[in-house]
Structures are given as structure tokens and as C-alpha cells.
Structure 1
Amino acid sequence: MSDQTLRGGRGVARSDAASTDLYRAVWRWHFYAGLLVLPFLIVLSITGGLYLFKDEIDGIVHADLKRVEVRDPSNRVAPSSMVAAALVAHPGKAVKYTDPITSTASAEVTIKTTSGQNLAVYVNPYGGQVLGSLPDRGTVMWTVRYLHSLKYFGTVTRAFVEIAAGWSILLVGTGIYLWWPRRQSGGVLSIRSTPNRRVFWRDTHAVTGIFVGFFIVFLAITGLPWSNVWGGKVNEWANGHNFGYPAGVRVAVPMSDEHLGHVSPTTWSLEQAQVPETARHAHGAEPIGLDRAIAIFDGLGLHRGYTVAIPTSATGVYSASVYPDDVAQQRVVHLNQYSGKPLIDMSYADYGPLGRWLEFGISVHMGQQFGLANQLFLVAVCVAVVVLGVSAGTMWWKRRPTGSLGIPPAPADKRVLRGLLVILIMGGILFPLVGASLLVMLTLDWALTERTRSVA
């Protein structure tokens, strides 16, 4: 045998060893990412899948409050009369009025009661009868939304949603590498064997993952704007200066210290937008009143179902905001409460490029932008994520040695980790909470590796 043949054989062996080590490294971190992320992704998929049909489900569960019988339009009562009826039933101060979005929908009056609680009171617009009330944001789908964001469990727990979103991107990236065809005839786009064999669950996991991986990344990125740390910082940067309004909106009106997110439903892009102040345009001028304000908003062509924040002080404004399924029809208008003059009128077209992109992504994320097709497609993605979690758990259970966690073996040559670690660190810098969790995982991985060596 010649020296050249020997050198060629050693080169192939080194290449195979390096390939094996890289595969082990990627597999090991894919396992860690799945261990950390999949339980959260399953919860997010179930709650998110339900929230896609928020209007439909709320309409059924709260039909006695939200649905009314269509009558002669001439029987409709003025908004101020509906507010008055709500205040008779629940004394306090009216702070918001929500226009019925359809002819079969009730109006909603938000009242700050004498006990300090915000109450949503539902009123029949055809006769002014009070249908009932719920705590503000007290519908069943608001409960699902808070479960989806883990809001019920405090700030620290909510941070795990941000961590899960960042790690899910890593999970998809490493999953694509592990899926990549390596001379196998099945498990790429087809599923082999039967459910009693591990290869069935491996193929189910791999094939499902390759079809929905892109959409998992999309949902992670479009969900991150609502996160505490990353979302909050990006929101500040995206809104720029100029009182937090999107680029292109320049107004010379006095501004209050109140933010739009505190007084009315709003989008992510406008959470930090400050609300303008109003001033009497003449000595002794009287406010125009809610009915006149509603007439002005209708004349400006706002989409039905808009919410009006009612001024509660002499310098307050009537603020109407609406965020329908079509993001192009999002709009916020502030009126001088004495003259009725629009102080600020902005829409989706006024958002900066990042704001428009994120708002469109959020609308798709929530199943709104493309109607029923959007909802059904995302339900399929949510089901696929649950399948990924179940198949991963089953596959691990069938593979793991007795009495062991079954962590994939560490690479023999640690140098193969360098490139992977660079990618992980870059992701950690971009997403701070993911970076912090990465340090914890690296420490645990090092400890496990050292423990394995000492036992061996």
C-alpha cells in the first residue's frame, strides 16, 4: 500500500470524524433547545390557536352581552344616552365608548366605578337597555390572551416567552441541519415504519419540522415585539423621538404626559405615543360632547368598531382609535374637545418602515390580515407544533438509556463547537434574555461533560 493511499485514508477518516463531531454538537444543542422551548411552544400553540378565533368564541360565550337583534335604525339611541344608561346601572365615570362594529353588535361603555374598578358595560344600541357587564378585558378570550403571554404569572415568568421565542429560532436552525438528507431513502419528505418504532417518530418530527420551521421562526419574530425586554427596547428605538409618534407625523400641538397605550386600545407601534392636550378656543367655550365627537369621527371615515377615549379633564381630548383586521385601515384621531378640530390624524401609512413591517407581521400572527384562510393556516401550524413536541418526547423516551436523561453525546473534538458558539453568542447579543439563558446552558453543559468524564 502506498504512502499516498495511507494519507488519503487518514484524510477521509479525519473528514468523517469532523462530520460526526459537528453532527453531535448540533444534535446536542438541538436537544437543549427543545428541552427548554418545546413545553412553552406547546402552551403557546394551544392558547394561540384558540385566540385566532377570539371574535367568534367571544361572540358565542358572551352572546347575551355582545349580540343584539337588528331593529329599525330609527330606534338607535345616541351614544350619550347609552353612556347615561350605563352610568345609571353602574355609577362612576365613563372613560371609553366603543362603537358597535356591526348592526348585530352591542355598544360597549367602559366605566371607572366608584370603587376604582374599570367595568365594561354592554348596551343595546336600538333601545339603550343595559345588557350586562364584565370587568374590563374580562372576556374569555382576554383570559386566553393573558395565558398566551403568561401575564398572569408575573414579569419573571413572562420573560420565558421571550427566551422561548429566541431559542425556537435556534431550534429550527439546528433542526434543518439534522434533517438535511445524508444518503437515507426515507425520513426526508416521507415517514417510515409504524408508531411502535422510534424511526416513525423521528421521521414524523423531521418531516413536520421542515414544513413548518419557517412559520415557527415567523411567529417567534412577530411575537417578540410584545416581549418585556427586547420588545420594549425596540419599541423605543422604532418610535424615535418626536413624542413617540412614527416618522412622518410632525405636529405643532401641546402634548400631555399620557401615553396612548394607557387610555385606549392601540398597536405596538403607538404604545409610547403621547396624547395631545386641548385648550378652550374661546373664553367660556363648552365641550362639543360625545355625540358631536362621534359624528365628526364618522365623517372622517373611521372603520366601524372604533373606541373613543372620553376626556376626563378640561385639557383632555376625544381620542378615537381603530385596529381592524386590515392593517391599512388602522387609524388614530385626536379631537379638540371644544372646537372638534382634529389635532392629530394618523394611520398605518404614517408608520415608519419598521413599524409597518411589524404591524403587518403582528396582524398575520393574530390571524387577522387574510381572514379565515389566515386563521385556518395558523391553526394547522399550531397543531404541527404540538405534533413536534409529542414526537420529540416520544422519540426521546424510546431512545434514552435506563436511568439516564439521554443527552446526545458531546463531540470528541471541542473545536467543532467554535462556529456553533459564535452563532449562539451573536443571537445572545441580539436577544439579551436569550444570551443570559445561553450562559446558564453553557455552564450546565460544561458541568455535565465534566461529570461524564469523571465517571468514565
Structure 2
Amino acid sequence: MSDLTLGRGDAGAAMRSASDLYRAVWRWHFYAGLLVLPFMITLAVTGALYLFRDEIDAIVHSDLKRVVAQESISRVAPSAMVASALAAHPGTAVKFTDPPETTASAEITVARPGGEKLAVYVDPYSGKVLGALSDRGTIMWTIRYLHSLKYFGSFTRALIEIAGGWSILLVLTGIYLWWPRRQTGGVVTVRGTPKRRVFWRDLHAVTGIFAGFFILFLAVTGMPWSGVWGAKVNEWANGNNFGYPAGVRIAVPMSDEHLDHLAKTTWSLEQAQMPQSPAHDHGTRPIGLDRAIAIFDELGLHRGYAVNIPATPEGVYTGSVYPDDLSQQRVVHLDQYSGKPLIDMSFADYGLLGKGLEWGINVHMGQEFGRANQLVLLAACAGIVVLAVSAGIMWWKRRPKGSLGVPPMPSDRWVLRGLIAILAVGGIIFPLVGLTLIFMLTADQILFRLSRRRKT
């Protein structure tokens, strides 16, 4: 055999190997899309709406949340606002939320005798009750629960991990498929018209390469809320010292109750336990809500903070606020008898991992960089919807009649096994992704054997 023949043989083998790898990546890109795209559309639409939660809530619930600013009139005492709320809706006041700005109402959370909680809105200038909703009953809380799939049970935190992990694999395999291979279009330009499949292929590829970074970012920063990975990382990062970051004093009695059970909190404080007011003489009277709020004001908590009202003799007044500015995040627990701060914690006290994840979460929610953050992520969400729609149309135009249209199996099975080994790394990092990978491998083998039987 001549050297020229050997060269052609080597080139042919290289081309077959490249073709097999492309087929293997394409096949698993298809499977990843099959798992993820329905979730991605829901997450993109609800996420885009939630980016503008304050603006939308202010419009939809303007009769409850907005008041006319009256600079010449001092605000009614917090205890008087609570009294008005309880007169209109009898029960027990469990939380008072300070108006975040001069045109905002105060919010008092009332626990009703039957166990229901109401959010009662009060004009801070007149003390008049403006109305009430179920606690977390605003339109944006509904959108948030849809985004987190919370309406479908606690197991949906596992679905977030599966969707997030497979989204990462979807982007990485998509980058390989997009990578230029001497084609004249479909890299940064779109060829053809919507009637042709190449148009949808190029639209999908070009949109994907620009939106891919944001999908990766949103998937990774969404992982802290996942069921297995998120919970374990939270336990590892924040599980010591009663769930408080290192450096925060905890030399006070601690209860078994968690802050997250009483009020909305950050990811880093989901495991934070509530301190207890130290024992006092029986004749010692609690400082009361008005004095507690005055102390929180003196301590400089950002406007719009929430105050949890103690329900037991050992309880504490807890002031917490999580504004857009991460540096202003703060949680302060006060002894309900002396008003002394028992724990005073801010973003600066979080560990390095906690700070990094909280920053990612803040950007994920469109808060870190103001309006620019919202608009960039809105464009990313629109790109995700375009990706999902173009993928569906492209598949529908390509698939043979009566077939699922799974991309062909590579002729060299070792190529596929090598790719699976790489995917398995992601399955080890994200355990639930690993379980679904095993399931998909089994289903893939069944489909492949059924296809071979039909052909024979």
C-alpha cells in the first residue's frame, strides 16, 4: 500500500471519528432538550415577570400598597397600626413590615384563629386599614411559586436540580454542535426563511450561543434552591454554629426554631436558629413593639425591614431586611425585655462561599445592577423562549413520520461511551442528574434495540 493510500485511510478514519462524535453529542443534546425545554419555557416566562416584581405589584395592588406621602404629618405609632389591623381582622399580630418609602403602606401579618395568615395593609399616616390579602397572596408571590414549582409539592426542588444540571449539559453540547465547521451561515447569521428548516436551525444555533452564557449562569445560581445539591451545600457552608456564619456571636440561649420558618430569609440563613431572650425577673415587662422598632431605627436597618413579634416569653424581636444592595442585608435579634441585641448579623459576616452564592442569587433575581440587570436578564429570558420554540419547530420539520426523530447512534460505540463518561462527571456533581442519566441511558438502549428490530 502506498503512502498516499495510507494518508487517505487515515483521513477517512479521522472523518468517521469526527462524524461519530458529532452524532453522539447531537443525540445527547436532543435528550437533554427533551428533558429541559418544557421547564425552561416556564422558568423563562415566570422569571422574566418576577424581575419586575416591585413594579408589577405596585400597579396590581396599588390600592393596598400605595399611599399619598404626607411629609407634614408624622406617622402613626407601629402599635397603633397593629391595633387598627387587629380591629379589622381579629387574630394575633406576628409581623410588622416597615414602609420602605414615603408612598408605601405598612404591612401587618395577622395569624387568624383558624391558622390562616393575612397580610393587612395600613396607611402609616392615618392608621386606616386599606385592605388585606392572604399572606404571600400578591400576584408576584404567585409568580414566584410558579417559578420555583412550589405549587406542585416539595419534590419539585428535586426537579429544579434536574432541570439546572441538564441545562448545563444542554449548553455545553450545544456549543460543540454550533462550533464553526467551514459553514457559511448559522454561526452569527441566519440563513433562509421561516419556511425552511435551515432558518430554524440557524436561529436556534445563533440564539443559543449568545444566550448560552446566561443559561449557564442562571442554572448555576438557581442550584442553591435545589433539593439535594442545594441542601447539602447549604449544610456544608452554613451548618455550623447554629446556622450562623463564622464570627457571629452565639453565646446566648438558642431555640430549635429556624428563622426561615418565621420569615422570608436569604439562602445563607435558611438554617439559622432563633435565639431566646435570657431569663428575667417575673416583674420585668417586655419593651413593646414601638420601642423595638425605635431600636432597629437607631441601629440603622435599611427601610422596609420586617419585625417578627415574639409569641412566647422566651421569644425575641427579629428585625430582618434583604434590599437590592447586598451590603445592606441584615438580621438583628433583640431581647424582648431589655432591647439588647443578641445577634446582629450582616452580609459582611457571611463566609466566602456564602457571599459568592448570595451575589449570584442577587444577580439571578435582577437586583444587583439595577435596571440594567433587569433588562439584560429579560433579554436572556426572551432568548431562552426563542431557543425552545425553534428547537421544537426544527425537530418537527426534521423528524420522519411515525418516529421520535432521535439523532442517529454513532457507528463507533466507544465514542458514545467516552461522551457518557464525560456526562457522568456532571452526574456525580449533581446526584439527581446522575440518576436521570442512568434512566436516559436505559431508555436509549431500549429505543436503539427496538429500532434495530424494526429494520431487521
| 1:393 maps onto 2:392 in alignment | yes
- Is residue 307–residue 319 contact of structure 2 (8 Å, CA) maintained in 1? yes
Alignment of 1:50-199 (within 5 A): 50-199=49-198
Q: Name the counterpart of 2:325.
A: 326
Q: What are the Cα deviations for residues 256-303 of structure 1, in whole angstroms up to 9, with x where unaligned?
A: 111010112210100110111002444511111101110110011110
The residue identity in structure 2 corresponding to 1:32 is Y
Q: Name the counterpart of 1:274.
A: 273
- Is residue 260–residue 272 contact of structure 2 (8 Å, CA) maintained in 1? yes
SS at structure 1 position matched to 2:155: helix
- Is residue 91–residue 110 contact of structure 2 (8 Å, CA) maintained in 1? yes
How many angstroms does 1:157 deviate by? 4.1
How many angstroms does 1:120 deviate by? 0.6
Q: Name the counterpart of 1:349.
A: 348
- Is residue 280–residue 338 contact of structure 1 (8 Å, CA) maintained in 2? no
The residue identity in structure 2 corresponding to 1:67 is R
Q: What are the Cα deviations for residues 298-336 of structure 1, in whole angstroms up to 9, with x where unaligned?
A: 011110000000011111000000000011110000001
| 1:310 maps onto 2:289 in alignment | no
Measure, in 2, the Cα distance between the counterparts of 1:423 and 1:346.
42
- Is residue 249–residue 346 contact of structure 1 (8 Å, CA) maintained in 2? yes
The residue identity in structure 2 corresponding to 1:102 is E
Q: What are the Cα deviations for residues 76-100 of structure 1, in whole angstroms up to 9, with x where unaligned?
A: 1000000011111111111100000
How many angstroms does 1:161 deviate by? 2.3
How many angstroms does 1:3 deviate by? 2.3
Q: Name the counterpart of 1:25.
A: 24
Q: Name the counterpart of 1:9.
A: 8
SS at structure 2 position matched to 1:108: strand
- Is residue 288–residue 337 contact of structure 1 (8 Å, CA) maintained in 2? yes
- Is residue 160–residue 225 contact of structure 2 (8 Å, CA) maintained in 1? no
Measure, in 1, the Cα distance between the counterparts of 2:316 and 2:154.
32
Q: Name the counterpart of 1:235.
A: 234
Measure, in 2, the Cα distance between the counterparts of 1:290 and 1:360.
32
Measure, in 1, the Cα distance between the counterparts of 2:287 and 2:75.
21
Q: Name the counterpart of 1:444.
A: 443
Q: Name the counterpart of 1:220.
A: 219
Measure, in 1, the Cα distance between the counterparts of 2:135 and 2:300.
27
Worse-matched range after superposition: 407-416 or 63-72: 63-72
Indicate how the Cα distance of structure 1 residues 156 and 315 shifts in structure 2: closer, same or farther if over 3 A, else same. Answer: closer
Q: Name the counterpart of 2:382.
A: 383
How many angstroms does 1:158 deviate by? 4.4
Measure, in 2, the Cα distance between the counterparts of 1:319 and 1:5.
81
How many angstroms does 1:248 deviate by? 2.2
Measure, in 2, the Cα distance between the counterparts of 1:356 and 1:206.
34
Indicate how the Cα distance of structure 1 residues 261 and 157 shifts in structure 2: closer, same or farther if over 3 A, else same. Answer: closer
How many angstroms does 1:43 deviate by? 0.6
SS at structure 2 position matched to 1:155: coil
- Is residue 252–residue 278 contact of structure 2 (8 Å, CA) maintained in 1? no
SS at structure 1 position matched to 2:356: helix
Task: Count residues with an aligned counterpart.
Answer: 455
- Is residue 157–residue 225 contact of structure 2 (8 Å, CA) maintained in 1? no
Worse-matched range after superposition: 63-72 or 225-234: 225-234
Indicate how the Cα distance of structure 1 residues 73 and 294 shifts in structure 2: closer, same or farther if over 3 A, else same. Answer: farther
Q: What are the Cα deviations for residues 97-140 of structure 1, in whole angstroms up to 9, with x where unaligned?
A: 00000000000000111111111100000010011101100001
Q: Name the counterpart of 1:335.
A: 334
- Is residue 78–residue 290 contact of structure 2 (8 Å, CA) maintained in 1? yes
How many angstroms does 1:401 deviate by? 1.1
SS at structure 1 position matched to 2:307: strand
How many angstroms does 1:240 deviate by? 3.1
Measure, in 2, the Cα distance between the counterparts of 1:406 and 1:191.
23
Worse-matched range after superposition: 412-421 or 139-148: 412-421
Measure, in 2, the Cα distance between the counterparts of 1:403 and 1:416.
28
Measure, in 1, the Cα distance between the counterparts of 2:155 and 2:80.
44
Measure, in 2, the Cα distance between the counterparts of 1:447 and 1:280.
67
| 1:361 maps onto 2:360 in alignment | yes
How many angstroms does 1:230 deviate by? 1.8
SS at structure 2 position matched to 1:70: coil
How many angstroms does 1:10 deviate by? 1.1
How many angstroms does 1:453 deviate by? 1.6
The residue identity in structure 2 corresponding to 1:207 is V
Measure, in 1, the Cα distance between the counterparts of 2:288 and 2:427.
52
* Structure 2: gaps spanning 5 or more residues: none
| 1:46 maps onto 2:45 in alignment | yes
The residue identity in structure 2 corresponding to 1:115 is G
Q: Name the counterpart of 2:372.
A: 373
| 1:434 maps onto 2:456 in alignment | no
The residue identity in structure 2 corresponding to 1:199 is V
- Is residue 240–residue 247 contact of structure 1 (8 Å, CA) maintained in 2? no
Q: Name the counterpart of 1:402.
A: 401
Measure, in 2, the Cα distance between the counterparts of 1:451 and 1:115.
57
Q: Percent identity?
A: 69
Q: Name the counterpart of 2:256.
A: 257
Q: What are the Cα deviations for residues 39-84 of structure 1, in whole angstroms up to 9, with x where unaligned?
A: 1100100000001111111111111100001114534100000001
Worse-matched range after superposition: 395-404 or 287-296: 395-404
- Is residue 367–residue 378 contact of structure 1 (8 Å, CA) maintained in 2? yes
Worse-matched range after superposition: 101-110 or 226-235: 226-235
Measure, in 1, the Cα distance between the counterparts of 2:239 and 2:149.
29
Q: Name the counterpart of 1:287.
A: 286
Query: Please, what is the CA RMSD of the aligned residues?
Result: 1.1
The residue identity in structure 2 corresponding to 1:97 is F
Q: What are the Cα deviations for residues 194-219 of structure 1, in whole angstroms up to 9, with x where unaligned?
A: 11111111111001100110110100
- Is residue 23–residue 410 contact of structure 2 (8 Å, CA) maintained in 1? yes
